[in-house]
Amino acid sequence: MKNKPFWQCRLAADTGKKAGELLIYGPIGDQTWFGDEVSPKQFREDLQALGDIEELRVYINSPGGDFFAGNAIYSILKRHGALKVVYVDGLAASAASLIAMAGDLIIMPSNALMMIHNPWAVVTGDANVLRKVADDLDLIRESMIAVYSGRTKQPRDKIISMLDAETWMTAKEAVDLGFADEIEEAKKVAASVNGTKAVINGIEVDLTKYRNVPDFGQLAAVRAGVSPEDVSDKLAPEDTSWEAPDLEDFTDKSWDELSDAEKRRIAGHYAWARTMPPETFGDLKLPHHRPSDGAVVWRGVANAAARLDQTDLAAEDVPKVRRHLARHYRQFERTPPWEDALGNKLRLLSLELELLSHGG
């Protein structure tokens, strides 16, 4: 397959209805689908593998991406016979908003965002090449206008002005304009901005691509979580190799199929969880226990400590996680790096005081 799948299809956990789930989290396409016949075919087959479902729940948290991928998925979903319910889990921007328009029902939490804008491209070439690309972009925009206008019933001129302006919409604005149908209660959303990067529920958004960046604070500040109890105190040999685990390393079940006890046990392999039991596997951060037997892996502990400052945690959670990891450092007879740094500062301060006293 030319492109790595950025979607996940699965049957819904509830058995009361024949329902499937489509998750689109992250950028849409690592390469363009233009001229690619394999990727759309794979997406269609993954969808068909769900069988004769009555309802398809589409969960989106994406900054967008390749128009051709977004447009192809929109068309495939529109043709699907199931009732399509779209949930915006944080952000549906650019091509992701196009996919959302395939929903028979589009639901946004009150703290979610949607964005539409004109298509754009990065091009090198002479004037003839640039004119051709400009013409192609106009054709793409016409396709987008048709989709947005068809779903919202907004006049063509209104959609054009919104595309030209790079329009960001709150849930209320999206419903008022016809881009969504219902507003649901605000969801727990971890949103943070660091320079030119925003992180929304673990999905990174490059803000340099946008002209009218909104206040992501409305999505909600990063909420305080918990530091789970360790699944085991057993130590793996210090030279044990380390690779961050996937859910498949713990179980062959989907997260929704796990009991609360099973979710808590998996959480015990990590230094931080958004809630207990975690609502999703993605709510777990900073793994350092081996999935096979729960043993603490030194390289996992060191990796978690190194990544701590780059992880989206509430400020009040950092001391809790440091204490959690510091205990493992001491198990391996090591000093946590933050304690080393504090010790160095104290030693320097002591030296400065000594020099000052001698100078006096």
Catalytic residues: 94, 117
Place of tokens 């090198």: 124
Cβ–Cβ < 8 Å for 178, 208 = no
Rounded to whole angstroms, the Cα distance separating 352 from 254 reads 58
Rounded to whole angstroms, the Cα distance separating 238 from 285 reads 22
Cβ–Cβ < 8 Å for 207, 198 = yes
Which neighbouring-strand residues pair with 197? 194, 206
What's the angle, vertex CA 244, arms to CA 240 and CA 272, rounded to 5?
110
β-strands 105-109, 182-184: how paired? parallel
Place of tokens 């949607």: 114
Rounded to whole angstroms, the Cα distance separating 323 from 350 reads 26
Q: Which residues contact 316 (CB under 8 A, 6 or more apart)?
A: 224
The dihedrals phi and psi of 340, each to the nearest 5 degrees, come to -60, -45
Cβ–Cβ < 8 Å for 62, 203 = yes
Tokens matching residue 152: 């919202």
What's the angle, vertex CA 8, arms to CA 7 and CA 12, rounded to 5?
140
Cite the DSSP H helix spans in the chain: 38-48, 67-79, 95-100, 127-152, 156-165, 171-177, 260-267, 298-307, 318-331, 337-359
Phi-psi region of 304 (alpha: psi -120 to 50; beta: other; left: phi over 0): alpha
Rounded to whole angstroms, the Cα distance separating 120 from 74 reads 19
